[in-house]
Structure 1
Amino acid sequence: MTDHDRQSSTPAAPRRPIEQSHGRGSVTAEGLVMKRTGSFDWDLDTGTLDIDEAGLLVLGLDPLSFDSRPESAVERLDAAERARLDEAVNDAIVGGRSSYSVHLRVPLDGGKDQRTHVQARVLRGDDGRAHRVVGVVRDSTAEIDHSEFLLDLEKRTQRQTRIVERTTSALSRAVTVDDVTASLTGPSGLARIGADGLALGMVEKSALNVIALSGDALEAVTELGSGEELDRSLPLADTVVSGRPRFLNSVSALVGRYPAVAPYAEHLRFRAAAYLPLVAQARTVGSLALFYREPTAFDADERSLCLGLAAIVAQSLQRAKLFDEEREFATGLQSAMLPRRIQEIQGGEIAVRYHAAWSGRQIGGDWYDVIALPKDRFGIVVGDVQGHDTHAAAIMGQLRIALRAYAAEGHAPSTVLARASRFLSELDTERFSTCTYAQVDLGSGAVRVVRAGHFGPLIRQVDGRVGSPQVRGGLPLGISTDFGDEEYPETRLDLVPGETLVLYTDGLVEEPGADVEVGVQALIHEVSTGPAGAQALADHLSDRLWERWGSGDDVALLVLRRSPDPGSPRAPRLHQYVHQADPEGLSDARTMVRQALNDWDMAELADDAELMTGELLVNVLLHTEGGAVLTLEVLPEPVRRIRLSVQDRSSVWPRRRSPGETATSGRGLLLMDAVAARWGVEPRGEGKAVWCEIGPSKPSGPSPAKSSART
């Protein structure tokens, strides 16, 4: 035999008397069966294998017929096992290793396999060449079976621990009953609890209502009539009434115990089911059914796991049900203190939204209101009483009614807040409140705003830009009276047709752990990009911001939009408010005029109109103390002209000047004479409007307002 042949052969054992095997002495047959361990000596030079009788029995060979050839020792092994043994032997001999160890499956008579362990040492000469291999073979079936049992037990324990941990973690975040059902039936819900189907029922007024179905839960159709009294002929209801779990390892077992299920048996796709009562605080609150596609024996460990899951679900369900009840009470109290109906207004649209905080009874004192006032005006208010409890809500209700009464009496906005502060201070409470109140006249667009420690309003302009006007403010209500400072200065704003005013409380802009300015900028962005209508914009802000920040605080939101004034197809009209403190307002107004005339196919008038826009607005911004409302419209005449009008709150009319050669101002009316076909000045409410008409021809006769002009 060549060296290669020796190194590719497999160890077995030539027969020799047992009493001479490595000095073991005489061994009985009974002893061989008990020991199941033998030894071998493989001479690589001669190619013979000497193996004792115990070793032959381990390998399933007949000691009387073994011919000492290595090939005969492995004749019972299948090809794959023989290849593994050859690989281990060759790696050791050729690779220069001193030993090898390999586990094999040896087929035995009767069709069973024996797990056999071969462990050997390679003996080499001084030249490093292998000459002999000596070792032992032993029956390791019991050892490996025990090891596999322990591994399987460990895997099952880890699986059960994982199921409990993941289910507990998921349900710990569930607040409402809907949250509980979502965690069980949502993505990964069934995988989390290790089942293929689920049915969850809750006891409500002596009836069982199925509130969740998932996966292979078709048998729950038998519970669809369960809105009535509990029926013990059905498994879920029986579990509730008896308070005992039912473990069924086959559909036949289910039908045998509950014949009412028989009509549905052929449609069921599960092979085992566990019906578990949900017990919390010594009371059965419902039942949980788990279904499995694979056969399940429901041993002690599996039953303990199912009962543990039921206990976790029961506690979560009970806690969620209590939260829902508390929340219903709290939101009911809050809703009762808010206006039931918001009046319709002429010339605009109002939308209000209130969202309660998701914290049980921990509601807040946020509120909104719309108050009818004389002369077709109305008041709007959004406020927030300190605290997040029912006491805050009660204070809010009283304060809202008081503020409504003061406003309805016709007082100025500053007086309304001063009296509301005094009222809150006299309520014998340590709570204070912030709010923003405004009196609105949509006929003129005038908005008179006062602020008590609250966010100022936002104004969305017609072109979508959003401004945050500087509204002077005073101390929060209650605190201002305690400190003897009930001053609430008014700020005049102008809402032009098509513009929108937004009032809100801090719950809409405060994100836990973030600067409130981040939330305000997010609100400005959403107001700018949201839909134009008041109702649609209120819904947009609620969806994008209230749900984004979470539910830690309640939110009051009021959106007021003045109706657009587009004119008619033959006589379109645009309005834009230019704030005195807005450095880009003049440029934006000029751009708006040019773009509008291009859109109306009147681009030939754009240069003159843009020049006049600048002159009219600069006159207001330099010589008055407020902003201006710019109106651009087309006059439907046979020869179409455009009219530019700038309205301000100053009663001083412009007058003509005679500027010298070096003067840098005073030429505005001269330019208007040169460019405009007509121009004039008209009284408008608290101020005036300066207007001019630009067209292709100039009528004869003097301009009506040339006698008194100033620029």
Structure 2
Amino acid sequence: MSGMGVDGGGGLGDGAGTAVAGVPALVGIGGVVWEPPAGRLHCDATALAVLGMTREECERHPELLAARVLAQDMPRLFAEARRVLARRTAFSVYFRIRHSDGDIRWTHAQGRTVRDADGGLLRVVGVVRDARPDVEARESQVADPTGARHADMVQQLTTTLTQAATVEEVTEALVRAGLLGPATVKSVAICCEDHGHVLLLAFRGFPASVVRALRMSRLEDSLPLSETIRTGRPVFLDHAGLLDHYPQLRSLLPAHDSAGYAMLPLTAEGRTFGAVGLVSEGGGFSPQVRTLLLALSGTIAQSLQRALLYDRTREMAAGLQTSMLPAKLPQTPALTLAARYRPAPFAHEVGGDWYDALRLSRGRTALVIGDVQGHDVHAAAVMGQLRTALRAYLAEGHSAQAALSRAGRFLAELGTDRFATCTLAVLDPAAGEAEIVRAGHLGPLVRHADGRCAWYPVPGGMPLGPFPEEECPSTRIPFEAGATMVLCTDGLVESRTDDILVGKTALLRCLASAPAPLETLADHLLTAVADPAGNADDIALLLARRAR
């Protein structure tokens, strides 16, 4: 753990550096390095003491750490781990751990991620410490809701909002923040102005009748959120006051309730673009809480503005990608097809994954699945051109081998530095077989009519583009009545934390026990096998089933 020491070269003399070097261990702070790709955990002596682990347990059985975390804290710990693996650079999380002597101790972990040039996660570097003093201090401050407790809550909420990337995450942060002290937030609504209408972006805890009214409201309506957006002024009311000021709500809300209501304007760059509505279970809002909410409204507005940009950019990227995929698959009496596509989990990344299906002569059907290198608009553009070219070669009557070879030469002639992988399967139900041509891509996975499942070891050639003169071998495999073929891109079976063989084995087992209807099977494979926390790639999935 040499990297955990204090560097004496940052302006400290040799004597000062030596004196400071032992301070972290002296105050109970231990260093931890987690390497998800290798499944290794390294702890120094202080970290082992904080976590209640031996050196052998840490190095040979790191899974014991998760087993000792209290079950109530596991969802929070897993959620933080998923965010770190997906996109976060820094983390901070509290959890309780049971030591071998039965003692339960609050623990605080904090650190940063280290990634390679492509954004792949290499390791997580951080520190752990005994957090019992934090808990004791917080408990001693409960009697002072206007002082240190509010300061602590503001700090935590600000940190959470800074890390929130989507509108949904901003909403969740407001629900969980404990904004109202002893009261709790039971309902949240976030909306923005949209060409004279009030666009409901996210909500929690409102009855369906209120949600319908919010969705149909206009900026000019005499409703609390509309008025807040229109005037840019906050509104704080108890239940009776809300019904008095907005009588049209009497048909939507009970006559008597102890709830309190807060409507906060969302203002950024001098313009009010939306509002947040909060409903508490504990009555009205004290002057201290009102001041706190108004102080936080600017942070909420900035976080929401960033989240809106993220959501819209992601929606545009996914829309661009999806528009390049076939709108309809060619179904025949002898062959049923299903397909799925899931974009990469990051906003600006447009992937190069694609699938296609084309009806050929003599009752045959061609299935294509492929992946262009990269995650950007260029990759999507190359994908669109390559898909069109391959479809044209097949429609002209070229064999599967010739069509894929021509597509490789076409890609090379584009002058791009991108390469592509691809698998082309020509299914012939009348002959009971499939011809497979593979260019650096995954081969087919087949579930036979009797339930047996296997990845066929189909010989393959080099990826398309770099070696335009090389031809990929053609292989014929059985495709009998009742059989199901699965073609996918590596995003379904590969992650940053596991080897691709682990994912391929998981997909094979999942297919063996999956539900029979093809559309249901496609959904099941996508949700049961793909891991959003450990996967940063888009996914294409194409299934074909021969009629019995």
Q: TM-score range by the shorter chain?
A: 0.5 to 0.7
1:159 corresponds to 2:146 = no
The question of 1:285 aligning with 2:280 is answered no
Two-structure CA RMSD over aligned residues (Å): 3.3
| Equivalent residues of 2:373, 2:418 under 8 A apart | yes
The 1:232–1:556 alpha-carbon spacing in structure 2 relative to 1, beyond 3 Å, is: closer
Question: Which amino acid in the other structure matches residue 438 of structure 2?
Answer: R
CA distance in 1, matches of 2:168, 2:180: 16
Report deviation, 1:262.
Answer: 7.0
Is 1:479 the counterpart of 2:466 in the alignment? yes
What is the deviation of 1:502? 1.0
Amino acid at match of 2:506: A
Cα gap change, 1:518 to 1:156, in 2 (>3 Å): farther
Name the residue aligned to 1:557.
Answer: 541
Whether 1:235 aligns to 2:224 is yes
- How many angstroms apart in 1 are the aligned matches of 2:344 and 2:427? 30
DSSP-derived class of the 2:398 partner? coil
Q: Deviations over 1:239-269 (max 9, x none)?
A: 1112122334x45555665566677786242
Residue 492 of structure 1 pairs with residue 479 of structure 2: no
Q: C-alpha distance in 2, partners of 1:383/1:243?
A: 51
The 5 A counterparts of 1:50-89 are none
Q: Say which is worse superposed, 303-312 or 256-265, in terms of deviation.
A: 256-265
- Aligned pairs for 1:57-206 within 5 A: 155-172=145-162, 174-184=164-174, 194-206=184-196
Instruction: Please tell me whether residue 347 in structure 1 is matched to residue 325 in structure 2.
Output: no
TM-score by length of 2: 0.67
Kept in 2, the 8 Å contact 1:190–1:196? The answer is no
Q: 1:446 aligns with which of 433, 442, 447?
A: 433
Q: Distance in 2 between matches of 1:366 and 1:151?
A: 54
Instruction: Provide the residue aligned with 2:303 in structure 1.
Output: 316
Distance verdict in 2 for CA 1:192–1:465, change over 3 Å: farther
Q: Distance in 2 between matches of 1:192 and 1:560?
A: 57
In the TM superposition, what whole-angstrom CA distance separates every residue of 1:43-87 from its partner, at most 9, and x where no partner exists? xxxxxxxxxxxxxxxxxxxxxxxxxxxxxxxxxxxxxxxxxxxxx
CA distance in 1 between partners of 2:264 and 2:420 (Å) = 51
Work out whether residues 509 and 523 of structure 1, in 8 Å CA contact, stay in contact via their aligned partners in 2. Answer: yes
Corresponding residue of 2:131: none
Matches within 5 A, 1:415-564: 415-481=402-468, 485-546=469-530, 552-564=536-548
Q: 1:215-243 deviations in whole A, cap 9, x for unaligned?
A: 5x689949926734323633222211121
Greater relative contact order, per chain length (Cα 8 Å cut-off, separation 6+): 2
Counterpart CA distance in 1 for 2:521 and 2:208 is 46
Measured in 2, the distance between the counterparts of 1:211 and 1:393 equals 29
Normalized against structure 1, the TM-score is what?
A: 0.52
Residue in structure 1 matched with residue 324 of structure 2 by the alignment: 337
SS of the equivalent of 1:338 reads coil
| Distance in 1 between residues matched to 2:546 and 2:252, nearest whole Å | 62
Any gaps of 5 or more consecutive residues in structure 2?
1-139
Any unmatched runs of 5+ in structure 1?
Answer: 1-149, 565-711
Cα distance change of structure 1 residues 462 and 170 upon mapping to structure 2, 3 Å threshold? farther
Cα distance, 1:469–1:261 mapped onto 2, change above 3 Å = closer
Which amino acid is 1:415 matched to?
A
What is the CA distance between 1:309 and its match in structure 2? 3.5
Measured in 1, the distance between the counterparts of 2:262 and 2:481 equals 66
Amino acid of the structure 2 residue aligned with 1:331: A
Distance (whole Å) between structure 1 residues aligned to residue 255 and residue 312 of structure 2: 38
Q: Is the 8 A contact 2:153 2:179 kept in 1?
A: no
CA distance in 2, matches of 1:342, 1:222: 37
Deviation per residue, 1:365-415 (Å, 9 max, x gap): 111111222222221110001111121111101000101111222222222
Cα distance in 2 between the residues matched to 1:554 and 1:498:
29
Could you say which structure has the larger radius of gyration? 1
Shift of 1:326: 1.8
Q: What is the Cα deviation at residue 154 of structure 1?
A: 5.1
- One-letter identity of the residue aligned with 1:177: V
Residue 631 of structure 1 is matched in structure 2 by none
Counterpart CA distance in 2 for 1:219 and 1:530 is 35
- Seq. identity, %: 41
Say which SS state the counterpart of residue 521 (structure 1) adopts.
helix
- Alpha-carbon deviation of 1:455? 0.7
Alignment partners' CA distance in 2, 1:443 and 1:175: 51
Shift in alpha-carbon separation, 1:198–1:540, aligned structure 2, 3 A: closer
SS of 2:185 mapped into structure 1: coil
- In structure 2, relative to structure 1, the CA distance for the partners of 1:177 and 1:276 (3 Å cut) is same
Q: CA deviation at 1:506?
A: 0.9
Please say if residues 326 and 356 of structure 2, whose CA atoms lie closer than 8 Å, have aligned partners that are also in contact. Answer: yes
- Secondary structure at the aligned position of 1:201 is classed as strand
1:424 match: secondary structure: helix
Which of 395, 399, 403 is matched with 2:386 structurally?
Answer: 399
Kindly tell me the number of residue pairs found equivalent between the two proteins.
409
Equivalent position amino acid for 2:322 in 1: S
Q: Distance in 1 between matches of 2:266 and 2:179?
A: 18
Q: Deviations over 1:444-471 (max 9, x none)?
A: 1221111111111111122222111211
Cα distance in 2, alignment partners of residues 185 and 267 from structure 1: 25
Q: In structure 1, what is the equivalent of residue 236 of structure 2?
A: 247
Is this contact kept in 2: 1:218–1:268, CA < 8 A?
Answer: no
- Matched ranges for 1:352-391 at <5 A: 352-391=339-378
Q: Counterpart in 2 of 1:89?
A: none
User: For 2:467, what is the secondary structure of its paired residue?
Assistant: helix
2:418 is paired with a residue of what secondary structure? Answer: coil
Secondary structure at the residue paired with 1:375?
A: helix
Distance 1:218 1:381 in 2: 46
CA change 1:520–1:544 in 2 (3 A) is same
Q: 1:208 aligns with which of 195, 198, 205?
A: 198
Match of 1:276, SS state, is strand
Deviation, structure 1 residue 294: 3.9
Query: How big is the shift at 1:443?
Result: 0.6
State the distance in 2 between where 1:407 and 1:525 align.
33
Q: Secondary structure at the match of 1:203?
A: strand
C-alpha deviations, 1:452-504, integer Å up to 9, x for none? 111111111222221112111111100122xxx51211112111222221110
Any conservation in 2 of the 1:177–1:321 contact (CA below 8 Å)?
yes
Partner of 1:298: 286
Contact 2:184 2:282 in 1 (8 A): no
1:274 is aligned to 2:262: yes
In structure 1, distance between residues paired with 2:456 and 2:359: 25
CA contact (8 A) 1:277 1:284 kept: yes
Whether the aligned pair in 1 keeps the contact of 2:439 and 2:472 (CA below 8 Å) is yes
* Partner in structure 2 of residue 571 of structure 1: none
